[in-house]
Amino acid sequence: MKRLLSVILTAACVLTMCVSLTACDLLGGNKGDAAAFVSLDINPSLELTLDKNNKVISVYGANEDGQVLLYGEDGIIGADIEVATARILELAKEMGYVDESNTVVQTTVSSDKKGKEDSIYSKINAQVTVSAEKLNLALKCDTNAAYSLARKLERLKAQYPDSQAIQNLTPAKLKLVISATENGEISIEAAAEMNTSELVNYVSETHKQMEEFATEAYKKTKALASATYDEAVGLAVDGVYTAYYIESVLQLKHLDTAYLGALYQSYKMSGRALNAIADGLVYVEKINDYALNAQQIQAVLEALGSDVTADDLKNSDGEVTINSIYAYADKSFKNSQISSDIEAVKEKLNAALNNIDAQLQEVISAAAEKYQPQIEAVSAGINKIIEALPDAVKNAAKNAFDELTAAADSFAEIVKDGKITADEVRSLAKSMDDKASGVLSKIENDLSAEELEKIADNKQTLLDKASSAKAAMEQEIAKAEQLAKAKLADLKASRTSK
């Protein structure tokens, strides 16, 4: 039995190390109270959710400029939408985001009630008119979709021709879908299939969980540090059931259910490993954040015209990305008065970006392929645990282990075509987590209260021993938080000092 436990824990350790190393390489209110979603694209891009009385219950900077504008500010959450709009426009004027060359506030409102959408938009539009006079700017609302949003919608529909939910997306609902999928925990297709009310509440809860300083760099670091700690602790904690059942067998107890510990650990271990892989793939797949090379930048400049320079397209890190190009294009196109010229430029820019997308997809595919050995390791780890079990244990639960083996074998399916996506891996992880929960319920019914209490004590002992791993995680996250806050504060100071 000691050898069995050693084999199981060794397999889990190897699997955890493989996944962690790859992740290191590639990473860097009450529910149900939201009644409407509002997007204000100035640039900055801001998102708000409102309750049934049109009071703001969450606000989120959907891009870096949005985070800069909101950083350290209050008076928006809890305010009526008119008051919040006025405050946002005041801040935008103070920081130079709105001026004579940028006066259009692209506005979308989403609710499950059409009348409510119209009412909220009217309130925002009226406030923009009042603020325009107060700020001495010709501000106006515009319901047309931004260039970037329209392009994303077109590409998404081409990517998912068989998904009716995606084919039915409007620009306004796409805004919600994009926001819902930002944390990588729900797929585009799953979000698109949700109704507006469900999406608004999902987005509202997601907003509330986001720190105001959560830059992309911070989110990457936090995800990696948390996943590393979760796997390290989970490896030990999830194994307590295996250890307890093995000890019980030696005492001739739970002979018919001894397989449950290994079964739970296999599913739980697989779920953790696959979730870690999916977390890594989320950032690998962020095509809009990749820094473009000189040739790609030149193609964009030629499409935009001779008056535009590379400096005009750079983000705060001095890089040109698709997102930074979108920021420039959205602002430029919405404020232009010559529609025929703009359409010609959009056509050229689309062609340039389509070529760049194809090039970046090759880079993403190559990076994603690095996860193939780790996915295969998950399958191998399961099979090793099963192989290490005594025949008596395997025979007592043949159907359960056949199902586990089938699950392990299914992992190979997602790497056959050479395209590994976060959504595919996340779906597998969820199925493993669901199966682990089912087995855990059986364990809790199988063991007595005293036995479960003993296991809980064992878990706590292991957690206490993992205090150094927890400290390392907290230190890494704290450092990332400090850097993120410093960056946002510097960017805000540079704008307010102009």
Residue-level pLDDT, tens digit, the chain, 498 residues: 444 444 444 444 444 444 444 444 444 344 458 999 999 999 999 999 999 999 999 999 999 999 999 999 988 999 999 999 999 999 999 999 999 999 999 999 999 887 899 999 999 999 999 999 999 999 999 998 899 999 999 999 998 999 999 999 999 999 999 999 887 778 889 999 999 999 999 999 999 888 999 998 999 899 888 888 887 788 778 888 888 888 888 888 888 888 898 889 889 988 988 888 888 888 888 889 999 999 999 999 999 987 899 999 999 999 999 999 999 999 999 998 766 688 889 999 999 999 999 999 888 888 888 888 888 888 787 777 777 766 766 676 777 878 887 877 777 676 666 678 888 888 888 889 999 999 999 999 999 999 999 999 988 888 888 888 889 999 999 999 999 999 999 999 998 866
Of residues 38, 39, 49, 46, the one with CA closest to residue 201:
49
CA distance 314 to 309: 9
| φ, ψ at 46 (rounded to 5°) | -130, 145
Q: What is the DSSP letter of 292?
A: P
Answer for the pair 68, 93: CB distance below 8 angstroms, yes or no: no
- The residue with tokens 């049109």 is 54
Q: Which two tokens stand for residue 97?
A: 């985001």
Handedness of CA 92, 94, 97, 103 (dihedral sign): positive
Of residues 174, 164, 241, the one with CA closest to residue 203:
174
* 50 three-class SS: strand
Answer for the pair 283, 220: CB distance below 8 angstroms, yes or no: yes
Establish whether the linkage from the previous residue to 288 is cis, with ω within 30° of 0: no
| φ, ψ at 332 (rounded to 5°) | -65, -45
What is the rounded end-to-end Cα distance, in angstroms, of the chain? Answer: 71
Q: What angle do CA 285, 419, 421 make, to 5 degrees?
A: 40
Of residues 224, 350, 223, 215, the one with CA closest to residue 289:
215
Of residues 293, 358, 344, 349, the one with CA closest to residue 321:
293
CA distance 362 to 359: 5
Answer for the pair 56, 78: CB distance below 8 angstroms, yes or no: yes
For 196, counting Cβ atoms within 10 Å of its Cβ (0-12 exposed, 13-18 middle, 19+ buried), the class is middle
Question: What's the predicted TM-score (pTM) here?
Answer: 0.83
* 96 three-class SS: coil
Integer angstrom CA distances of residue 271 from 182, 222, 399, 429: 21, 19, 20, 4
* 43 three-class SS: coil
Residue 54 Ramachandran class (φ > 0 left, ψ -120 to 50 alpha, else beta)? left
